[in-house]
Amino acid sequence: MSMKHFLLFLLFILFISCSQEKKKEEFNFPITKIKINPVDDQKAYIEDIADSIYYVSLKAEKDFSIKHISNFFVTDSLIIIADRSQSTVFLFDKEGKPKIKINHLGDQPGDYANLTNIIYDEYQHRIELLDLSLNKIFRYDLNGKSAGILDIVGSRYFGLTFAKTKDMYVSEILNNNKNLRRLRLYKERDGMLTYHSQELFFPPLIKELDLGFSHQFDNYKDTVYYYPLLDNKIYTVNIDEVKPVFQIEVPSKNQIGFEINSAKPAKDHFDYWKKMESAEVMYDNNSLFVTDNWVSFRYNFKSKADPRNAFFSKKTGKTLQFTELCSKKDPMLHSRNKISGKLGDYFVTIVPFKNEAIPQSKPATDNHIVFKLMYFRLKENQQLRNYESE
């Protein structure tokens, strides 16, 4: 075989290989499209969108009062809340009555120095508390007793938020890392978390900003779901694969384009928000929750003071979106709060009390805030929007 024919043969093999790889990628990544129109700023009445509603008020007692909700989880029997301002985890029963308080702040063996973040492990039925200052994860059972400590090996890039499945931990990497990576995956072994891999990229625009929002990770059926900033895809994260499963589609004028993806790093948070508002795109997405029937998330558009809550129906492929939740029966209910948790088919949000004078979403200095939770189950046969991309 001449050199010319040999080179042609190599090119042919390379072409076939690339074609097969392209087909393989397309086959392995089926993506469900979620159509959204950010301009839609309608209000919603809870009686119109939900077929079941109930309320739980969290009672306050001496030395058992929440000032600020940093993390929130609900189970069939418990309400679990972390208050970072007090470095404390509060456990209430399902009726809202105080039950157990976890506060092992100190410098003794087994104590944590700072509450960075917590998760609830629904398989092991325990709470895991991240202390990034000590590079450790502290485990507690639902009676507040220690259930072990994990040392984080290679913790330099471990983020402020994390999630886990049965065989891996994943954190959103602190910004300004030189590789511009989003995720860092770890395996657990012999009381340690050891580095496994880094996945996904984030745009240079947020390189030097520590931007973190609540619940960009969610667990559903032993899989971690992840909705990163300045991205139009929701991913599943497993130890050996990170792949997109939902794609958020918006009108072309509201899409994140080349200008944002190639922009220089923002000078500060205010510079970033100014760019987002002027670009008229979806930004600061958070509060991701995946259930059997729904995918829910929240985002800002144009103004930080005007967020949208979105609920995508897996059955119909249509979307419910609103900026404010009201009630026909209770004229005092005007809630613009995010979804804080899920329990089976129910979503959970914090709602204002009647004549409530203290903002519930901000830390208090002298007064302890009592929170009221609303659990609601969305109607499956309601009239949802079928947004069309322009």
**73: which strand partners?**
80
CATH number belonging to domain 30-378: 2.120.10.30
Q: Can you give the pLDDT at residue 364?
A: 44
Instruction: List all residues 6 or more positions away from 259 whose beta carbon is below 8 Å from its beta carbon.
Output: 279
pTM of the entire predicted model:
0.87
Task: Report the half-sphere exposure of 103 (CA within 13 A, side-chain side).
Answer: 14
* The two structure tokens encoding residue 182: 């989003």
Cβ-count burial 233-272 (b if 16+ within 10 Å, e if not): bbbbbbbeebebbbebbbbeebbbeeebeebebbeeeeeb
A 10 A CB-CB count for 360 gives 19
CA distance 67 to 275: 32
DSSP one-letter code for 156? G
d(CA 209, CA 26): 34
Q: Tokens 């829910």 identify what position?
A: 296
Q: Looking at residues 360-380, what average pLDDT do you find?
A: 71
15 or 109: which leads in pLDDT:
109
Residue 174, pLDDT > 80, answer no
Confidence band of 354 (pLDDT split at 50, 70, 90): low
More confident residue, 360 or 169: 169
Beta bridge partners of 54: 375
Domains in the chain: boundaries: 30-378
Residue 23 DSSP one-character state = H
Mean pLDDT estimate for the chain: 86
| pLDDT (tens digit per residue) in 273-314 | 999 999 999 999 999 999 999 999 999 999 988 899 999 999
Question: What's the pLDDT band for 167 if we cut at 50, 70, 90?
Answer: confident
Residues 6+ apart with CB under 8 A from 381: none
pLDDT digits (tens, 9 = 90+) for 178-210: 778 899 999 999 999 999 999 998 888 988 888
* Whole-number pLDDT of residue 209: 86
Per-residue pLDDT at 11 exceeds 90: no
Residue 259 has pLDDT above 90, yes or no: no
Output the CA–CA distances (angstroms, integers) from residue 356 to 151, 245, 334, 372, in the order listed.
Answer: 43, 41, 12, 11
**Residue 20 confidence (pLDDT) above 70:** no
Q: Which helix (H) or strand (E) holds 310?
A: strand 303-313
In tens, the pLDDT along 63-113 reads 899 989 999 999 999 999 999 999 999 999 999 999 999 999 998 989 999
Question: Above 50 in pLDDT, residue 10?
Answer: no
What pLDDT, in 10s, does the model give residues 136-161? 999 999 999 999 999 999 767 888 89
- CA separation for the pair 116, 152 (Å, rounded): 14
Residues 283, 307 contacting (CB under 8 angstroms): no
